[in-house]
Structure 1
């Protein structure tokens, strides 16, 4: 018999380890980060506990799964939606547990008058989203959604429909001809005194991240589901990245002293998270130093060019700088966060760079009025 518990954080953190076992490719966020994501008044997405909750499913003392139920008011207001979100849906291949968890999230949404529920959103469209529906043989990078093949099946069994198809990609850095990125338009930008790369160092990292937020909000303004990110939200989300960033592999380009373009990359943290089981332990500093010496995978968190400079060769200039830095630093592969099927320009760029598909993802939704 399934027992549901609400707001049991220890069980919520333990759920994927218990449900999936050691051989699954899923990698949990750090326990301390997950705790602050779910802290009302700490996470700016949740000013109080009325806009979110979470559930865990148990049987005979074993945690079988978890799910969040929450709302993103800014997204609903911007797009005219009556949508609740579910997130962090991780569950054993157990129909009874899945039905209980999804039903709890649906009941939470119905009680608040929402017309539909959709996910995974961990926790917004500007963070980790999607349910993995293909590429299960490939290990994920940091910040990429990952789950076993039975998760989409459990969702469909419970009346959920896939939509908003996405893909993630991977590049072999050494095989990229970075000089091919520089043509006459890019050379003109590099030679122009109006453009300059802002220093990315440990001392300047807070300012560079604010530059990145400015670029993000401008560059992604017309992208589906995008909601402008406040300074409080962005720096809360970025806090977890700062201690693992390699300043050599992120870049911010200024035009006439203002943020014009950026590429934010971080080393793939998943090998460290696996080694520590996503917990701070006595051995964590040793694992961290070992990871720094051996890291050869990086992940592109996002790249963007402000609207007034798009289509002028600026992105290739920044990409050339970053890929060259990665080659010199010994990185071998570069993973990228999701790109929707509707974003043909970004997909074409991936093909041009020789990237190959890593994971297939979809969002899943259910009409709560039926």
Structure 2
């Protein structure tokens, strides 16, 4: 067994080697993964001491990978002393898994952290969790995916599952807008105080700024949430202006100010899979093919300004937006993770007819 640190090429290649060609797993684009782990470019990592990349090898074969990192703002906000692991992808190999997890634990211990938790790829507002159920469900872009043995390898190394979550999928062709429309929603849609802000190519920068404001306000009391600075949001949303289908994202204003957002993007996983997560001369062709054939979209997040929550705003937005998605040719809508205790969001899933797609948990281990 050979353990390497800092070998980015092996880190990128690891899930392809560990899972083979038949897995539903789809890797981030290689250029994005490199950008995420570039100190000074990613605002999360001012220096290279903020993270480490480990890969496990045997007889020239890559068996797995894991990243370890710190999110100081999260520890400060929530009064914790955690380090995080990310992108834990491994063959069903006990020796390799133990070597990778021990390397991440050692990295965290040396820096004085008392807990290691993950997957955080790389923060709570990006991909999080380890799959524990729903393995037949085809993942959307920005949803985690891993085979059943990953959770078992974590448990075998002393990690406990916590913070249960689900992802969801809804059939847009079966959606009935009337299921969302009560008196409060009808009043919102009829009132001149409420208006849908324009989402066109030239408006996207303004709408993304609305989206950041509403994210920070609407999620302020959610567990693990850390407000995003403009720099952090712009880094994470760097490619959105090229990806957003302006027909299927919605920002609602109240008296001229941002009130609610449903940030939606087309599912890019078929495109990313076709390119094997690498840019080449065929990439533009694959992107065009995906654009012509796409029929799945993903809700990155939905949020209502904190002082306006509980007034029926999200129902009014979804009743308006989902039929527009159907008119644009989309048939399925995926939703990123929702915590089991987020009863308000779970009720919205019931109302739009969404069904659980994947079961996920965070995993943690005390290091003291």
TM superposition score normalised by structure 1: 0.98
**Hey, what does 2:113 align to over in structure 1?**
114
Is the contact made by 1:220 and 1:304 (CA closer than 8 Å) also made in structure 2? yes
Verify: 1:206 aligned to 2:196, yes or no.
no
**Hey, what does 1:23 align to over in structure 2?**
22
**Hey, what does 2:274 align to over in structure 1?**
275
**Hey, what does 2:97 align to over in structure 1?**
98
1:291-348: CA deviation from partner (whole Å, max 9, x where unpaired): 0010000000000111111111111121122202101011000000000111111112
Question: SS at the partner of 2:263?
Answer: strand
Is the contact made by 1:93 and 1:150 (CA closer than 8 Å) also made in structure 2? yes
Paired with 2:30 and 2:47, the residues of 1 have a C-alpha distance of 21
**Hey, what does 1:222 align to over in structure 2?**
221
1:203-245: CA deviation from partner (whole Å, max 9, x where unpaired): 1111111100100111011111111111111111011332221
Per-residue deviation at 1:352? 2.2
Aligned pairs for 1:304-323 within 5 A: 304-323=303-322
Per-residue deviation at 1:21? 0.2
Paired with 1:181 and 1:115, the residues of 2 have a C-alpha distance of 45
Paired with 1:185 and 1:69, the residues of 2 have a C-alpha distance of 46
Per-residue deviation at 1:254? 0.9
Per-residue deviation at 1:195? 1.4
**Hey, what does 1:333 align to over in structure 2?**
332
Verify: 1:51 aligned to 2:50, yes or no.
yes
**Hey, what does 1:160 align to over in structure 2?**
159
Q: CA RMSD in A?
A: 0.9
**Hey, what does 2:342 align to over in structure 1?**
343
Per-residue deviation at 1:10? 0.8
Paired with 1:133 and 1:240, the residues of 2 have a C-alpha distance of 30
**Hey, what does 1:131 align to over in structure 2?**
130
Per-residue deviation at 1:202? 1.3
**Hey, what does 1:171 align to over in structure 2?**
170
Per-residue deviation at 1:187? 2.2
**Hey, what does 2:182 align to over in structure 1?**
183
Aligned pairs for 1:352-367 within 5 A: 352-367=351-366
1:58-105: CA deviation from partner (whole Å, max 9, x where unpaired): 111111111110010011011111100000000011111101100000
1:17-56: CA deviation from partner (whole Å, max 9, x where unpaired): 0110001111001111111000000000001111111111
Is the contact made by 2:315 and 2:348 (CA closer than 8 Å) also made in structure 1? no
* Larger deviation, residues 118-127 vs 347-356: 347-356
Is the contact made by 1:33 and 1:240 (CA closer than 8 Å) also made in structure 2? no
Name the count of aligned residue pairs: 368
Paired with 1:203 and 1:61, the residues of 2 have a C-alpha distance of 50
Paired with 1:90 and 1:31, the residues of 2 have a C-alpha distance of 15
Paired with 2:111 and 2:289, the residues of 1 have a C-alpha distance of 48
Is the contact made by 1:250 and 1:265 (CA closer than 8 Å) also made in structure 2? yes
Paired with 1:353 and 1:315, the residues of 2 have a C-alpha distance of 11
1:110-131: CA deviation from partner (whole Å, max 9, x where unpaired): 0001001000000011110000
Verify: 1:82 aligned to 2:81, yes or no.
yes
**Unaligned 5+ residue runs, structure 2?**
none
Is the contact made by 1:250 and 1:263 (CA closer than 8 Å) also made in structure 2? yes
Per-residue deviation at 1:7? 1.2
Verify: 1:67 aligned to 2:86, yes or no.
no
Is the contact made by 1:201 and 1:247 (CA closer than 8 Å) also made in structure 2? yes
**Unaligned 5+ residue runs, structure 1?**
none
Question: SS at the partner of 1:155?
Answer: helix
Is the contact made by 2:180 and 2:351 (CA closer than 8 Å) also made in structure 1? no
Paired with 2:6 and 2:242, the residues of 1 have a C-alpha distance of 28
